[in-house]
Structure 1
């Protein structure tokens, strides 16, 4: 491992879609970054290293392997000398037949990272006092979609899925509920741990809505486009697209999610003990909206992109429709002084990258 560097961020799950963007955002903000990946020889790790080769050569970026995030002390070595931690490493499995693995890995990885952070900041550690901020990448699914009077804020929790999992039992659970339960359990574990251990470093959680937008680098092929971006590729490439929205229809650009992690790292006094919904405040779209945006932006592809029923299924200026939960993210906007990248720019910037596959 390299010598500890001032303003050194640890990004776990660095080769993921959001993780890579987070690494890029920290580097652009002047930080040095240590990124953990499960396998340094994987195609995604190699692609990240190739894209950011100049930062590796300059010593501002190093990638290290943490094969199993649930192993005791798994993050100890990676945690040395860091100023901030963005913990993104967690299983994203939507159809698992092994719910205990998904839940155990999500919770165990979070608690393991927190314990390593605590050891790194202890009295006996050479890194004592360096760590200022620990931010967990949670999800809107941990907040839920049924707040008071249809308005969802950071005060809400997804108790519906918690109750369903409690009645059903984790061993019998399947599908999306397992993923949702893992995000809830992981964030619950964070706040319980904080209440018990009272760490000297700030802790916070980022809860993004449906994340889309341009990845840090182009994947090797179209079939490797991240799942949350598939609707953009489907529309651009002329495939049939579903009428309904992905998730609950409210989007956030991956660049904004990464920006919020950097903000948390740089403002521990503001974020300590807080959750922040990333996205929301409208930014509602369906694949038909993406088709309308792309048919206007690509007039030469109007015979390729499915026309559908223009203007249907979404509101002007990407406002929240009256029949869906209103996800309010004023808290993050007020804290950072910056609003969200709008839906049409998110779609257009991703499509620009995916042109390479046409």
Structure 2
């Protein structure tokens, strides 16, 4: 694990940080990094039954009194957010709604409300010094396969295939959720700093076997012979989930980072790349499907923003830079058969 090397920190070690959706693929890594660096964490869940493993796991690993649960029943639970934010020095709002529906009204308003509720809760507690939103690269661009530097700004259209709708609606929710962040910040001018991390497709080992949501599922499904994700998740950029967590922590703690969009994007991939690497990692596995034929690559140019994020990554943690696709995929298969 990379260790934090910041000479100055916006929030001193030992203070409390709120991480929403703490049982998620990304958020659980964020919690783990912060606990390892000496912070105390309050993590939100929708109910104790949602992740009964969470508190025992972190208590066993980091000791009693360093991790606790707060219940926020859903993203519209303003009172729950306000209670959870009490006495916190920092907030990382990572909770969202994963793409599983074609009903835009079931997703977008709640995600936008969640951003505002988390910000309003932060504003009611003077102890809060820093706020970070987990956004998404899809809040800035969608993959482009024909012409470089084209940005798709419609979340979906009437001609969008049904299989594409959940991810297009997810992109819309992240776009409007992040827009709410910057509009609120411009209006309210909070005393705390505000930043957003925009991760690409996350790859890497889940923190525990209990974490099965998020992008870890479609990647692991490939080695068991599943291929329906080929048409749903198109070629894009990727990031190792641990690198993504490091950038969230850097955005929270680095006093030089404020009002920034940090693009967690290590490089490009398509399914041909993933299957080629999986076949090298698991040469005896006959279930791995053939990749799509004539598969395109994402031509969107994100080199400049990727380089800036990598510079922040290396200045904040003792890591050499982005974790590559091969290592990230190998990690995603650790302890998985």
TM-score normalised to structure 2 length:
0.82
Q: Give runs of aligned pairs for residues 43-192 of structure 1, distance below 5 A.
A: 45-55=51-61, 57-97=63-103, 99-121=104-126, 130-145=127-142, 150-151=148-149, 159-161=153-155, 175-192=166-183
CA distance in 2, matches of 1:313, 1:330: 26
What residue in structure 2 maps to residue 127 of structure 1? none
CA distance in 1, matches of 2:219, 2:257: 33
What residue in structure 2 maps to residue 325 of structure 1? 300
1:345 aligns with 2:327: yes
1:34 aligns with 2:11: no
Deviation per CA, 1:300-336, whole angstroms, max 9, x where unpaired?
A: x25x24474799869xxxxxx5x62122311211223
Q: Quick one: structure 1 residues 233 and 324, their matched pair in 2 at CA, closer, same or farther if it must change by over 3 Å? A: same
CA contact (8 A) 1:215 1:350 kept: yes
CA contact (8 A) 1:14 1:35 kept: yes
Q: Secondary structure at the match of 1:270?
A: coil
CA distance in 1, matches of 2:227, 2:95: 33
Q: Quick one: structure 1 residues 14 and 90, their matched pair in 2 at CA, closer, same or farther if it must change by over 3 Å? A: same
TM-score normalised to structure 1 length:
0.77
Q: Quick one: structure 1 residues 325 and 245, their matched pair in 2 at CA, closer, same or farther if it must change by over 3 Å? A: farther
CA distance in 1, matches of 2:47, 2:252: 26
CA distance in 2, matches of 1:349, 1:245: 23
Q: Secondary structure at the match of 1:53?
A: helix
Deviation per CA, 1:45-82, whole angstroms, max 9, x where unpaired?
A: 11223322325752100011111331333212211221
What residue in structure 1 maps to residue 27 of structure 2? 19
CA distance in 2, matches of 1:239, 1:109: 33
CA contact (8 A) 1:136 1:204 kept: yes
CA RMSD of aligned residues (A): 3.0
Deviation per CA, 1:249-289, whole angstroms, max 9, x where unpaired?
A: 3211111111111111211x322110011014x2x223332
1:261 aligns with 2:271: no
- Where structure 1 has 5 or more consecutive residues not aligned to the other structure, the ranges are 122-129, 315-320
1:251 aligns with 2:238: yes
Q: Secondary structure at the match of 2:195?
A: strand
What residue in structure 1 maps to residue 277 of structure 2? 293
What residue in structure 2 maps to residue 278 of structure 1? 264
CA distance in 2, matches of 1:174, 1:237: 25
Deviation per CA, 1:140-169, whole angstroms, max 9, x where unpaired?
A: 11101379x8348xxxx86333xx67x99x
Note the C-alpha offset of 1:180: 1.6
Specify which structure has the higher proportion of helix.
1
Q: How many residues of Structure 1 are paired with residues of Structure 2 in the alignment? A: 312
CA contact (8 A) 2:47 2:72 kept: yes
CA contact (8 A) 1:209 1:252 kept: yes
CA distance in 2, matches of 1:174, 1:350: 26
CA distance in 2, matches of 1:160, 1:242: 22
Stretch moving more, 74-83 or 199-208: 74-83
CA distance in 2, matches of 1:192, 1:274: 14
- Where structure 2 has 5 or more consecutive residues not aligned to the other structure, the ranges are 1-12
Give 1:211's match in structure 2, choosing from 202, 206, 213: 202
Q: Which of the pair has the greater relative contact order for Cα pairs under 8 Å at 6+ separation?
A: 2
CA distance in 2, matches of 1:326, 1:109: 31
What residue in structure 2 maps to residue 336 of structure 1? 313
What residue in structure 1 maps to residue 10 of structure 2? none
